[in-house]
């Protein structure tokens, strides 16, 4: 345990944040792309124990921002610990879980290490229907286990009900926020590669080449034909309909590969039966070839379109070592969680 100091020239109130050693060595967070934040003393005393500190400002501090605030008396705030997005709720249980799903989607769109939903300060227990709303978050883990979602709630009945729910069973449930954070950090990290593309007619070819090279490097050559076709359709759709810069990622988690294409276009993907025009079949093809297919909204009004493909594990003779796919987590260009404005 240690503390960090920030120069007084910042002219803000400072908070010394302490954290026990969560599930292993001291958590390091040295990415220069993460803005160092100075925060005021939180109203929730539990949050004072959920920061990562170490040798100066190069370690971690958290910043609170409103993700969802339909009611100013019960906002959802987020802060991060070792690339895990932690969503802090307050107020009544039913109100909180109703607002959690859009907040989780915004967090997942930034490809964090994981997401933790902090329900430790709820004023009362769940009412009929609240567990179904909370369990919806499990669909994200069902579609892509590479980003775990945890729920911290001291009510043991919540854990029992989620474990019996078809979607809720995909969630990690703990009694405290520290246990949830530790459980997320114990899950295997996944290999992720990124590519930035301009909205140019050659973007789809560049995307195919990038995906092919990445899969060959991972020893997943048998997945290249399907993955190349899927990423080509996703990038082409973005280039034609959004016309903005594209951030492409490919991630590998055991028997599954996920492709994501992020753009700033406001349109939402919608597979449809093609007519006689030159376009229209692309997303239908993607849906047919993928184990899962969908999109996540981003805080700037754009979207992340994703597709998950089943892939065979590489053989020891032709592919990398079995544990090599659990490479250190790589993040997208911007990890900060955006603000969602509700109309």
pLDDT tens, 219-252? 999 999 999 999 999 999 999 999 999 999 999 9
- The closest of 239, 244, 202, 210 to 227, measured between CA atoms, is 210
- Reference 86, options 47, 128, 132, 143; nearest CA is 47
Q: Which residues contact 213 (CB under 8 A, 6 or more apart)?
A: none
Average pLDDT value over all residues in the chain:
76
User: Where is pLDDT greater, at 41 or 272?
Assistant: 272
Mean pLDDT of the region 287-316: 90
Angle of the 203-217 helix axis to the 224-241 helix axis, nearest 10: 150
Q: Which pLDDT value is given to residue 313?
A: 79
220 beta partners: none
Question: Which tokens hold the place of 212?
Answer: 């092919």
Cβ(321)–Cβ(186) below 8 Å: no
Least confident of 51-55, 72-76, 236-240, 263-267: 51-55
Q: Give backbone dihedrals phi and psi of 45, rounded to 5 degrees, phi first.
A: -65, -20
pTM for the structure as a whole: 0.72
Per-residue model confidence (pLDDT) at position 316: 61
Sheet with 65-68: strands ordered across: 65-68, 76-81, 84-88, 114-118, 149-152, 172-174
Query: What distance in Å separates the CA atoms of residue 259 and residue 230, rounded to the nearest whole number?
Result: 8
pLDDT in the model for residue 281:
67
What was the pLDDT predicted at 280?
Answer: 52
Q: d(Cα 116, Cα 180) in Å, to the nearest integer?
A: 7
pLDDT for 181 = 96
Give the pLDDT band of residue 183 (cuts 50, 70, 90): very high
Please state, in angstroms and rounded to a whole number, the distance separating the CA atoms of residues 89 and 118: 6
> Both tokens of residue 239?
């280039």
Which residue blocks in 10-155 are alpha helix, DSSP H? 93-109, 130-135, 138-143
DSSP bridge partners of 79? 86
Residues 103, 68 contacting (CB under 8 angstroms): yes
pLDDT at residue 32 in the model: 32
- Cα–Cα nearest to 331, from 11, 112, 181: 112
Structure tokens at 253: 């988690």
CB atoms within 10 A of CB 8: 8
Backbone dihedral region for residue 91 (phi beyond 0: left; psi -120 to 50: alpha; all else: beta): left
* 8 A C-beta contact, residue 244 and residue 302: yes
H/E stretch holding 159: helix 156-163
Mean pLDDT of 176-186: 96
Share of the chain above pLDDT 70, in %: 66
More confident residue, 326 or 160: 160
Please tell me which of 5-9, 45-49, 78-82 the model is most confident about, judged by mean pLDDT.
78-82
pLDDT at 294 over 70: yes
Reading phi first (left if > 0) and then psi (alpha if -120 to 50, else beta), residue 219 is in: left
Q: What are phi and psi of 308, to 5 degrees?
A: -110, 130
37-60: average pLDDT: 35
């Amino acid at each position: 345990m240690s503390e960090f100091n920030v120069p007084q020239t910042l002219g803000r109130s400072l908070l010394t944040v302490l954290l026990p050693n969560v599930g292993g060595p001291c958590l390091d967070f040295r990415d220069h792309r993460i803005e160092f934040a100075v925060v005021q003393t939180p109203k929730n005393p539990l949050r004072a124990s959920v920061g990562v500190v170490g040798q100066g400002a190069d370690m971690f501090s958290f910043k609170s921002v409103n993700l969802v605030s339909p009611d100013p008396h019960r906002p959802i705030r987020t802060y991060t610990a070792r690339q895990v997005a932690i969503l802090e709720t307050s107020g009544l249980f039913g109100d909180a879980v109703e607002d959690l799903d859009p907040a989780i989607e915004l967090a997942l769109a930034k490809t964090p290490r994981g997401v933790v939903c902090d329900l430790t300060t709820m004023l009362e227990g769940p009412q009929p229907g609240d567990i179904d709303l909370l369990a919806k978050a499990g669909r994200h883990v069902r579609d892509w286990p590479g980003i775990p979602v945890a729920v911290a709630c001291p009510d043991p009945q919540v854990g029992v009900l989620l474990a019996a729910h078809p979607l809720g069973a995909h969630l990690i449930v703990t009694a405290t926020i520290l246990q949830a954070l530790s459980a997320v950090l114990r899950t295997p990290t996944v290999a992720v590669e990124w590519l930035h593309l301009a909205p140019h007619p050659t973007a789809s070819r560049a995307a195919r080449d990038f995906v092919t090279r990445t899969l060959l490097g991972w020893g997943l050559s048998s997945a290249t034909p399907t993955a190349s076709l899927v990423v080509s359709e996703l990038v082409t759709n973005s280039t034609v309909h959004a016309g903005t810069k594209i951030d492409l990622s490919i991630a590998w988690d055991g028997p599954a590969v996920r492709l994501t294409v992020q753009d700033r276009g406001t349109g939402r993907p919608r597979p449809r039966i093609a007519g006689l025009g030159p376009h229209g079949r692309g997303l239908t093809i993607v849906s047919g070839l993928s184990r899962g297919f969908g999109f996540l909204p981003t805080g700037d009004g754009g979207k992340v379109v994703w597709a998950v493909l089943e892939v065979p594990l590489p053989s020891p003779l032709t592919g990398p070592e079995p544990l090599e796919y659990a490479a250190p987590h790589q993040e997208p260009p911007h990890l900060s969680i955006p603000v969602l404005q509700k109309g």
